[in-house]
Amino acid sequence: MQSTLSAVDVPISTESSASAISWGPIIAGAFAASTLSFILMLLGSGLGLTMISPWSGSGASITTFAASTAVWLVVVQWLSAGAGGYLAGRLRTKWVNIHTDEVFFRDTAHGFLAWALATLLVVAVMGSALTSLLGSGVQAASTVMSGAAMGASAGASANPSGASAGNATSYLVDSLFRPADASRLAAANPENDAAATAQASRILIASAAAGEVSAEDKTYLAQLVAARTGLSEADARTRVDTVLAKAEDAKVKAKQAADTARKASATFALLGALSLVIGAFIASAAAALGGRQRDEEEAVFLTSR
């Protein structure tokens, strides 16, 4: 009985007690990558400001600026992710009695984790700015789609840009009631002017929301203009048509600007996502390269001894 028990093989655990993840090199690589990203972001901001000009036609367009920003993000990912991943792989302590393929996988995973942690750090610091940039194109597109290009003055109390839209509408209304003889302006009745202005404003806002001015509203506007300015009805109708054409042109330009902002934001988002994918690959490959060089240097050192 005793000999039978002694013949039984007692299983011996071959599992290593050391963790497969070395957080020290990962954190070091992440901090290096995030710091380099911040420096490169500042450099990119400085270069980007040189592309912008307050003078019309002097600076780069929104699409060019967004595309250049996205390309710069790819460059930032190449440099920062590569540096962080390389440090994560090179600084890790070498494992012994581990297959070469497993070492390669662990080095790659360390680079990926360093990139992920660095990305979270950068997002935590710059997330609000990126969210504001991406949201601007969506907000502009939704504003135009809701027909607010001319009707924004109706919601001036809720919309910060309502004041500028209201000023634009007021200018169009003033153009309608501009007297042919400037001396008539002093003799005009303020109460009647206010009533006529209010009616014309409501007509323009409702027409902007509907997409067109009805024939009845156009005729009434011409009558109001003729009564308040002293123009003939034919001249008043011509003025109404001219002002409505200007309003439609402003609406088309607002839609074009919103569509340009939407496309620029979409381009920025897509290329930004692509840059992150590239960064993850670069960090993983750089960590594997750093790990291989670490092992080669240690092998040379042991051989020289």
> Whose CA is closest to 227, among 260, 264, 267, 199?
199
Which residues have CB under 8 Å from 34's CB, separation 6+?
80, 84, 118, 121, 122, 125
Does the pLDDT value for residue 202 go beyond 70?
yes
- By CB atoms closer than 10 A (0-12, 13-18, 19+), residue 57 is exposed
Amino acid at 206: A
How far apart are alpha carbons 44 and 3 in whole angstroms?
Answer: 78
**By the 8 A CB rule, do 62 and 264 touch?**
yes
Please measure the distance between the N-terminal and C-terminal CA atoms of the chain and give it in whole angstroms. 53
| 96 vs 2: which has the higher pLDDT | 96
How far apart are alpha carbons 63 and 45 in whole angstroms?
Answer: 16
With cut-offs at 50, 70 and 90, classify the pLDDT of residue 46. Answer: confident
**By the 8 A CB rule, do 236 and 177 touch?**
no
Question: Residues 54-63: what's their mean pLDDT?
Answer: 61
How far apart are alpha carbons 50 and 59 in whole angstroms?
Answer: 8
| 107 vs 44: which has the higher pLDDT | 107
Does the pLDDT value for residue 3 go beyond 60?
no
Amino acid at 79: L
Does the pLDDT value for residue 25 go beyond 80?
yes
3-state secondary structure of 63: helix
Q: Tokens 């390669």 appear where? A: 104
What's the chain's Rg over C-alpha atoms?
34
Report percent pLDDT > 70 for the chain: 64
Question: Residues 50-67: what's their mean pLDDT?
Answer: 64
pLDDT digits (tens, 9 = 90+) for 93-118: 777 677 788 888 988 999 999 999 99
